[in-house]
Amino acid sequence: MASPLYAIPGAASGAAATEPAAAAVATAATAAARTVNEVLAQSQVMEVLAELDRDLVGLAPVKQRIRDIAALLVMDKLRANLGLAAAGRTAPSLHMCFSGNPGTGKTTVALRMAEILHRLGYVRKGHVVSVTRDDLVGQYIGHTAPKTKEVLKKAMGGVLFIDEAYYLYRPENERDYGQEAIEILLQVMENQRDDLVVILAGYKDRMDTFFRSNPGMSSRIAHHIAFPDYAPAELLQIAERMLAGMNYRFGDGTVEAFASYLRLRTQQPHFANARSVRNALDRARLRQASRLFAEPDRVLGEADLTTLAPADILASRVFQANS
């Protein structure tokens, strides 16, 4: 059965008639751009880059790589406007690998990346479909291809984010259906790269092993972006950002308490960077709520309701285990 997934959408720029109205408008609006600033003004991509800078703490190398990719796409647009697009192959390959430990911002950055790709007209819709092995691979013979194709259909026009992508490959199992999913992915990554960006994510060492065993996949990934663990000062800053976003804040002495908490927590197993920070703050908010709940007659003002006290942090099990 010929699947529409394997059809290469009109490669020539004259294919606009079959594209959604938004894409056609974007193409028309950028048609005359001759300067970087014109492309930036038309695509409004600087807003997303500025947001990325502002909202995400640290990640300097990641942010730089994203600016580089944005620059490449801007040049691509300017080249296309001058009729310089390479014959037969209009879009640069933008499949990526985000490697790093849990909670280092991979999923968050993938969402921003999709928005940038969309604004620069690389993908039509800019949505992210986030999956793991179980969404792609079936349990029985004949189940994998339809599953993978269904996911690809949903992701077309946007970004397919495959978390812990290395689980697709299980060499210890000779007849593993993951291989079937990988082969379908490879074809679509090659043939429809002008309308779908695949981002593989996961631990660095496992990703490296996966690529060594799957050279076909490795050769289709144009950008390898490493997400480092956050430094203690960055984790604190992330905590303050998160609290501000929820209309909470650290009270007197609470930053110090949280810094001590982080010193202990980072030594423990399963520490997951910014995700652990978020979880710790959620638990601190629970303790704050219980603390206030215990004084039912007290009038609670704005300061009471928004402030986390040192006790809300210091009651954590992390301190008990080490005392």
The residues of the shown chain that bind ligand ADP, judged by CB under 6 A, are 56-59, 100, 102-108, 238, 241, 274-275, 278
Is residue 194 classed as helix, strand or coil in its secondary structure? coil
The least CB distance from residue 162 to Mg ion, in Å, is 11
* Distance from chain centroid for Cα 88: 30
| Binding partner selected for residue 193 from ligand ADP, Mg ion, none, CB under the kind-specific 5 to 8 Å limit | none
Task: Using the minimum distance from each CB to ligand ADP, give the nearer residue, 220 or 241.
Answer: 241
Task: Using the minimum distance from each CB to ligand ADP, give the nearer residue, 144 or 273.
Answer: 273
* Distance from chain centroid for Cα 313: 30
The least CB distance from residue 185 to ligand ADP, in Å, is 20
Handedness of CA 73, 74, 80, 82 (dihedral sign): negative
| Binding partner selected for residue 200 from Mg ion, ligand ADP, none, CB under the kind-specific 5 to 8 Å limit | none
Task: Using the minimum distance from each CB to Mg ion, give the nearer residue, 26 or 155.
Answer: 155
The least CB distance from residue 92 to Mg ion, in Å, is 25
Task: Using the minimum distance from each CB to Mg ion, give the nearer residue, 163 or 312.
Answer: 163
The least CB distance from residue 130 to Mg ion, in Å, is 8
Query: What string marks each residue from 90 to 129 as x (binds Mg ion by CB under 5 A) or -?
Result: -----------------x----------------------
Task: Using the minimum distance from each CB to ligand ADP, give the nearer residue, 134 or 150.
Answer: 134
Task: Using the minimum distance from each CB to ligand ADP, give the nearer residue, 106 or 147.
Answer: 106
The least CB distance from residue 160 to Mg ion, in Å, is 14
Residues 6 or more apart whose CB falls under 8 angstroms from that of 166 comprise 202, 203, 206, 207, 209, 210
Task: Using the minimum distance from each CB to Mg ion, give the nearer residue, 104 or 192.
Answer: 104
Return the H-helix or E-strand segment holding 146: helix 144-155
CB 298: neighbour CB atoms within 10 A? 9
Query: What string marks each residue from 162 to 201 as x (binds Mg ion by CB under 5 A) or -?
Result: ----------------------------------------
The least CB distance from residue 107 to Mg ion, in Å, is 3
Angle (deg, nearest 10), helices 106-119 and 60-81: 20
Residue 90: φ, ψ to 5°: -90, -35
| Binding partner selected for residue 103 from ligand ADP, Mg ion, none, CB under the kind-specific 5 to 8 Å limit | ligand ADP
Task: Using the minimum distance from each CB to ligand ADP, give the nearer residue, 104 or 288.
Answer: 104
The least CB distance from residue 161 to Mg ion, in Å, is 8
The least CB distance from residue 58 to ligand ADP, in Å, is 5
Distance CA 127, CA 156 (A): 9
Size of the site for Mg ion (CB under 5 A): 1
Amino acid sitting at position 51: E
Q: 54: buried, middle or exposed (CB in 10 Å: 19+, 13-18, 0-12)?
A: exposed
Picking from 216, 167, 158, the residue whose alpha carbon sits closest to that of residue 187 is 216
Strand order in the sheet with 96-100: 128-131, 159-163, 197-202, 96-100, 223-227
Distance CA 152, CA 203 (A): 23
| Binding partner selected for residue 39 from Mg ion, ligand ADP, none, CB under the kind-specific 5 to 8 Å limit | none
What the block records as the tokens of 144 is 């994998």
Binding residues for Mg ion, per CB under 5 A? 107
